Structure 1
């Protein structure tokens, strides 16, 4: 049955999507699902004690930890609530207009790992910084490269981002300390872990859907000049750790069944623990859009990502590292082969040498104070249309102090 909720049909948030979030309508934190331009208080319509218990916390944490059977039951509850006409009288009183609620960080971020899964992004960056060498590191097609970020700096969409200060060095000069001059965006997709794993027990790629609850959009803000001075030999630190923005809505894996596609062809034989699934693959046909101050500057295709979610999980845990409920695993910058498919200003501006024009007549090489970055995405839906992932947006504030 189609949803009876006004405005749901064709919105990208119809009954074939039903992403989860946490909202405050004036009475405290509540777990909800988005349907059209409304938010349904899911805990208020829970029809079993088990669901009432996991949905009552005002956080997705208990639901994430409960596992696939409970995830399926919660999704069935939400779908029935917004499609069954017999539920309408009860449910209508628990629908809140989206503009009337405050959206919150939907779960407690346990650990945050950011990968480097786009061959096109890694190649472009390698050509900029290693022009006389192979742009891809020798390990790149053998394992998913990543770094461990700072979970405490993850913020929900709409939270302003202060320009970070840090140490930088111009060629031939002494190091200086001050606000970054090369603030960048990175359009990414994140996988949200639900069920954890014991320390010392690797999680095979085939167990991906038993551990990962869903996906969301993410902006891994980057201070390129701070990063360039600090990252050798150990990698990113202060150039990345000041803020990471995530969307308020988590799309469950079940909503993405129609978006699953094969990953790009492999040019190197993968070790068995990273082998691609012989069945239905876990590449995802997500079409991202990046806007700066309302101007679309890029349309990165997630289907071009070399490494898939199951491979990220398998590699992360291959040494026995554990998964925890609320772990956030980001894809790294999503970029494609075309010039207008780069997911960062570093690529779009060719490392600051080619200004990117905006609709107001100005241009950018890197972000200015007051700029607003918005990342959106769509995907094929099981209903035959397209669903819309929850956008992630943030405005740049001047450096504090």
Structure 2
């Protein structure tokens, strides 16, 4: 069983921390400790700063060089009281990167199918283009926040029958995702092929895509999400290098993808994710079965000529299954609000309420296995991070929920 918050020597994720009375510095987690990277590697211009961007921009050779040095340091023993070593519990963790652009994809075919059945009953749940391209939208980089940041209930236009009002969302939801952090930039106008994924993408974070379903239902046609998703995106404070993750084959893609989306197997990280709502685990799911891989997402994102920039963040889209116990959003767990589910005692939910505490955590299972997709076993053996949030009331007058 994973010890939550305790990173193993094989993980060594990077973050930005501030010790009491100090300035922000780049650190690496070892067990429940954070090691000041500058004390091991030097290079203050890269590591004595408030973000990882300068280090990330150096590229794969530098990433491997620093990781090797940190692995050797970790193997020699790290304990509190040593130079540059702090307890994670004693420091403030900060947003790990200065986010350049944010893109969110729609790469979980189970979530896309579930959402289609809920929102368009009687129609084909998947749009014709779903199996041809990894669909996504451009979000707001400025509202990406680090774990521990409260999320304020958003307001926007909401339709009630024939009437449209403006007010707080009554159908606030989460979506379980992973996010990929770009290190090496690319040239505008030059697409980046899928096989160059590891030359540009540094690592992965836990990502929560917050969604106001009632605002989204009114505004998303014809141009997609806007106010329903722009108010906040939460990520974990630790960026786990791609080399620290086991990778597995993704599902068979039919029809065969176009040439620029071809990528060598394995395609997806073997990562398990669970969500806890007010102390109750309500879903566990695996990222191993995502239909579109992060390499394919990157290739499609740049196909039109858009460049990658250091600090770019892109999300997988909701990781889900057809089993409610492994669904990646409340939209699916409550089937659009029609099926309230029990938390504890007499407490039930369909969507999030003010004061709710949401924790999304991820780990690597001990033995990566495709049979884990949709599984309900306890969260795996190697912790890789979490995103924790409290839902706060909308800034307007007291919230009066609209009928679901």
Aligned match for 2:355, one of 353, 370, 378: 370
Partner of 2:105: 115
Partner of 1:5: none
Q: What 5-or-longer segments of structure 2 have no aligned partner?
A: 369-379, 397-404
Partner of 1:155: 145
Partner of 1:3: none
**Does residue 64 in structure 1 map to residue 34 in structure 2?**
no
What is the deviation of 1:364?
A: 0.6
CA distance in 2, matches of 1:218, 1:315: 20
What is the deviation of 1:58?
A: 3.1
Partner of 1:231: 220
Partner of 1:139: 129
Partner of 2:387: 392
1:81/1:91 contact within 8 Å kept: no
Describe the SS at the equivalent of 1:66. Answer: coil
Describe the SS at the equivalent of 2:160. Answer: coil
CA distance in 2, matches of 1:91, 1:64: 29
Moved segments of 4+, more than 3 Å: 8-12, 88-91, 380-383
Partner of 2:250: 263
Q: What are the equivalent positions in structure 2 for 1:310-329 lying under 5 Å apart?
A: 310-329=295-314
Change (3 A) 1:269 1:89: closer
Describe the SS at the equivalent of 1:263. Answer: coil
CA distance in 2, matches of 1:28, 1:153: 23
Cα deviation per residue 1:178-222 (whole Å; 9 max; x = unaligned)?
Answer: 100000011110000001111001000000000000001011100
Describe the SS at the equivalent of 1:218. Answer: strand
CA distance in 2, matches of 1:291, 1:110: 30
What is the deviation of 1:130?
A: 1.6
Partner of 2:371: none
CA distance in 2, matches of 1:190, 1:300: 16
Change (3 A) 1:10 1:367: closer
What is the deviation of 1:357?
A: 1.1
Cα deviation per residue 1:220-242 (whole Å; 9 max; x = unaligned)?
Answer: 10000000000010000000000
Aligned match for 2:164, one of 163, 175, 181: 175
**Does residue 189 in structure 1 map to residue 181 in structure 2?**
no
Partner of 1:46: 41
Q: Which TM-score applies when normalising by structure 2?
A: 0.91
What is the deviation of 1:314?
A: 0.3
CA distance in 2, matches of 1:181, 1:382: 41
Cα deviation per residue 1:252-290 (whole Å; 9 max; x = unaligned)?
Answer: 00101xx2110011221110011131xx41212111101
**Does residue 130 in structure 1 map to residue 125 in structure 2?**
no
**Does residue 74 in structure 1 map to residue 66 in structure 2?**
yes
Aligned match for 1:13, one of 7, 15, 29: 7
RMSD over aligned CA atoms reads 2.0
2:8/2:383 contact within 8 Å kept: no
CA distance in 2, matches of 1:248, 1:9: 17
CA distance in 2, matches of 1:224, 1:356: 18
CA distance in 2, matches of 1:98, 1:10: 12
Q: What 5-or-longer segments of structure 1 have no aligned partner?
A: 1-7
CA distance in 1, matches of 2:316, 2:9: 27
Partner of 2:210: 221
Aligned match for 1:253, one of 221, 228, 242: 242
CA distance in 2, matches of 1:360, 1:230: 36
Q: How many residues align?
A: 383
What is the deviation of 1:52?
A: 3.9
Cα deviation per residue 1:314-366 (whole Å; 9 max; x = unaligned)?
Answer: 00001111100000010011102322111100000000011121135311100
CA distance in 1, matches of 2:349, 2:80: 51
CA distance in 1, matches of 2:156, 2:85: 45
What is the deviation of 1:251?
A: 0.3
Q: Which TM-score applies when normalising by structure 1?
A: 0.92
2:177/2:316 contact within 8 Å kept: yes
Aligned match for 1:28, one of 16, 23, 26: 23
CA distance in 2, matches of 1:340, 1:52: 46
